[in-house]
């Protein structure tokens, strides 16, 4: 160990959201490789909300009912802030790192308030910190901010702190010095092929449990690329890409070389014995077919069922055939909206409905189960536009259907649009990203109507149109509407969640 220097990561997570973050696992690996001791305080299994996001998705007919307690997962009823204080007192870190997304910014501020008098320096990172650095660095308990990727910057910071050296000039870092903030220049983006293998040890075996279609699997997440080549207006990836380009860091979207990826996967499978692999890629098929062929050949030695997500317009029959041969067990597609003109104008997604249908029918041809993602509540949306999305979903046959609320994340194009149109105030708080979001102040459709459409969305997609008048009653959150919804919910689960 480098002078027994310790860093404690804080992961303020949405309650019971069980996807394990790759970025902390990667940072842990980089620090351990250099001889530092790494600890973790993870809020995932603390009761920080009334209802978990996964349970909300069960209630919205997006997930088959499951029971994480079958894998030994139980909810911690202790005060999360008190337990953090105890962890800091026992672990005695020299540096605290906290990762930030907007959904859990409120929880993060509470946790920071509990340790602000500890005297231990705090460095913040994550997408929220990178896209909203001024708001983050203004927090009293935060001493430093990492703008962009942290693998090299954090290692350099720990090395200099361990040696007692001045660290005020580390690239990618903003550092408070008295009343001033030193804003250092950026460093080139990391070469993914040079990174050490991901370290899930800091999370523990239990934390790898992940519910999928009613079962709980041990799942590991593998980073095969970083960034995204597309420009969706609701997403942070294009903004990060622009940020890195403006700061001269390089191209955000890049992929690991297949031989390097295969060696890492074999290592992870041997070490963690997963039932399932999730490829942490925004658009899995956004790669040349020759690259996919090379991956398919190497994957024969891995042999673990996997899940991936992509866009319908990236599908070709050759690519889907290769996925089937590799053992792809499930796919996820972002349809997002069913009106072509609206999708192009508002979301900057340019594929046609015909492309979507033809691509997904190829997936059905090769009998790979899939989930589709849809967004409602977008700026200027109407009830009629929501039903355009419903109609598109009715032309395909997904295993599960996600209907997410539009979430105006700070830093995105659509966030700025909502501010300009007066649909959103700058101090608006994200309620629960994707399932609850934040009400927009627009006249085209009300938040209450959108909530009703969200919970009945799968019913409108799956059931005959003769049932639609009754389903419309189930949109209402009154006694009659709730009773009708519970009736159809039971029918839906019995038929589609066998």
Residue range 116-155, pLDDT digits in tens: 999 999 999 999 999 999 999 999 999 999 999 999 999 9
25-61 burial, b for 16+ CB within 10 Å, e for fewer? bbbbbbbbebebbbbbbbbbbbebeeebbbbbbbebb
Q: Are 275 and 378 within one domain?
A: yes
Q: Are 270 and 376 within one domain?
A: yes
CA distance 217 to 210: 5
- Asked if residue 25 lies in contact with residue 199, where contact means CB atoms within 8 angstroms, the answer is yes
276 inside domain: yes
Q: Are 242 and 133 within one domain?
A: no
User: Rounded to the nearest 5°, which phi and psi values hold at 40?
Assistant: -145, 140
210 inside domain: no
CA distance 433 to 407: 6
Q: Are 264 and 143 within one domain?
A: no
Q: Are 166 and 273 within one domain?
A: no
Q: Are 417 and 350 within one domain?
A: yes
- The encoded tokens of residue 409 equal 């994340």
For 288, counting Cβ atoms within 10 Å of its Cβ (0-12 exposed, 13-18 middle, 19+ buried), the class is: exposed
- Asked if residue 45 lies in contact with residue 75, where contact means CB atoms within 8 angstroms, the answer is yes
- State the pLDDT at residue 369: 96
Q: What percent of the chain has pLDDT over 70?
A: 98
3-state secondary structure of 220: strand
Q: Are 173 and 240 within one domain?
A: no
255 inside domain: yes
Using left for φ > 0, alpha for ψ between -120 and 50, and beta otherwise, residue 10 falls in: beta
Domain termination site, one of 168, 183, 198: 183
- State the pLDDT at residue 3: 63
| Helix, strand and coil percent figures for the chain, each rounded to 5 | 45, 15, 40
Q: Are 239 and 165 within one domain?
A: no
393 inside domain: yes
CA distance 340 to 351: 8
3-state secondary structure of 176: strand
CA distance 337 to 393: 9
Q: SS3 for 57-73, per residue?
A: HHHCCCCCCCCHHHHCC
- State the pLDDT at residue 459: 98
CA distance 297 to 462: 38
Distances (CA, A) of 143 to 146, 169, 343: 11, 14, 41
**Nearest Cα residue to 376 out of 452, 308, 462, 432:** 452
- CATH number at 242 reads 3.80.30.20
Q: Are 230 and 133 within one domain?
A: no
Q: Are 227 and 166 within one domain?
A: no
Q: Give the count of beta carbons closer than 10 Å to the beta carbon of residue 336.
A: 23
Span 31-52, pLDDT tens digits: 999 999 999 999 999 999 888 8
Question: What range defines the domain where residue 122 resides?
Answer: 6-183
467 inside domain: no
For 470, counting Cβ atoms within 10 Å of its Cβ (0-12 exposed, 13-18 middle, 19+ buried), the class is: middle
479 inside domain: no
CA distance 34 to 435: 40
Radius of gyration of the chain (CA): 23
CA distance 498 to 259: 39
Q: Are 319 and 408 within one domain?
A: yes
82 inside domain: yes
- State the pLDDT at residue 433: 64
Residue reference for tokens 């970025």: 23
CA distance 330 to 369: 5
- CATH number at 152 reads 3.40.50.280
Q: Which residues of the chain have pLDDT under 70?
A: 1-3, 70-71, 431-434
Q: Give the count of beta carbons closer than 10 Å to the beta carbon of residue 313.
A: 18
Residues 402, 256, 1, 120, CA torsion sign: negative
- Asked if residue 82 lies in contact with residue 89, where contact means CB atoms within 8 angstroms, the answer is no
Q: Give the count of beta carbons closer than 10 Å to the beta carbon of residue 74.
A: 9
Span 293-309, pLDDT tens digits: 999 999 999 999 999 99
Q: Give the count of beta carbons closer than 10 Å to the beta carbon of residue 203.
A: 18
- Asked if residue 338 lies in contact with residue 363, where contact means CB atoms within 8 angstroms, the answer is no
Count of the separate structural domains present in the chain = 2
CA distance 433 to 418: 16
Q: Are 93 and 235 within one domain?
A: no
Within 13 Å, how many C-alpha atoms sit on residue 472's CB side?
Answer: 7
User: Rounded to the nearest 5°, which phi and psi values hold at 15?
Assistant: -55, 125
- The encoded tokens of residue 351 equal 């594929």
Domain termination site, one of 183, 210, 245: 183
- State the pLDDT at residue 209: 85
400 inside domain: yes
């Amino acid at each position: 160990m480098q002078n027994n220097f310790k860093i404690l990561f804080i992961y303020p997570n949405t309650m019971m959201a069980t996807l394990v973050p790759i970025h902390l696992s990667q940072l842990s690996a980089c620090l351990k490789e250099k001889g530092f001791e790494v600890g973790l305080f993870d809020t995932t299994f603390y009761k920080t909300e009334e209802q978990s996001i996964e349970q909300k998705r069960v209630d919205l007919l997006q997930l088959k009912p499951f029971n994480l307690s079958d894998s030994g997962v139980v909810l911690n009823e202790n005060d999360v802030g008190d337990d953090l204080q105890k962890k800091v007192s026992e672990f005695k870190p020299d540096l605290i790192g906290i990762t930030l997304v907007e959904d859990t910014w409120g929880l993060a501020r509470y946790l920071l308030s509990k340790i602000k008098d500890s005297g231990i320096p705090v460095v913040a990172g994550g997408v929220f910190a990178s896209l909203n650095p001024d708001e983050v660095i203004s927090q009293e308990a935060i001493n430093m901010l990492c703008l962009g990727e942290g693998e090299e910057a954090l290692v350099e910071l720990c090395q200099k702190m361990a040696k007692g050296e001045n660290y005020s000039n580390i690239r990618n870092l903003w550092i408070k010095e008295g009343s001033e903030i030193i804003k250092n220049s950026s460093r080139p983006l990391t070469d993914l092929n040079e990174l050490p293998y991901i370290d899930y040890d800091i999370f523990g075996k239990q934390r790898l449990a992940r519910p999928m279609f009613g079962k709980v699997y041990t799942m590991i997440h593998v980073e095969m690329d970083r960034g995204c080549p597309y420009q969706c207006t609701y997403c942070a990836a294009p903004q990060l890409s622009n940020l890195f380009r403006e700061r001269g860091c390089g191209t955000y979207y890049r992929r690991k070389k297949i031989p390097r990826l295969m060696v890492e996967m074999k290592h992870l499978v041997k070490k963690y014995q997963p039932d399932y692999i999730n490829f942490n890629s925004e658009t899995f098929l956004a790669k040349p077919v020759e690259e996919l062929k090379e991956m398919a050949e190497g994957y024969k030695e891995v042999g673990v069922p996997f899940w991936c997500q992509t866009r319908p317009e990236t599908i070709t029959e050759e690519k889907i055939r290769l996925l089937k041969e590799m053992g792809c067990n499930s796919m996820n597609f972002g349809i997002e909206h069913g009106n072509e003109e609206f999708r192009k104008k508002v979301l900057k997604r340019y594929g046609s409905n015909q492309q979507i249908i033809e691509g997904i029918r190829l997936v059905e041809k090769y009998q790979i189960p899939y989930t589709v993602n849809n967004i409602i509540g977008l700026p200027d949306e109407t009830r009629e536009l929501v039903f355009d999305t419903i109609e598109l979903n009715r032309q395909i046959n997904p295993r599960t259907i996600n209907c997410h609320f539009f979430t105006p994340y700070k830093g995105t194009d659509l966030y700025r649009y909502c501010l300009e149109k007066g649909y959103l105030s700058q101090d608006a708080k994200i309620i629960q990203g994707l399932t609850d979001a934040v009400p927009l102040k627009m006249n085209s459709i009300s938040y209450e109507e959108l909530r009703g459409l969200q919970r009945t969305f799968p019913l409108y997609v799956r059931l005959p149109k003769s049932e639609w008048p009754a389903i419309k009653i189930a949109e209402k959150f009154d006694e009659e509407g709730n009773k009708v919804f519970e009736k159809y919910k039971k029918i839906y689960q019995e038929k589609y969640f066998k």
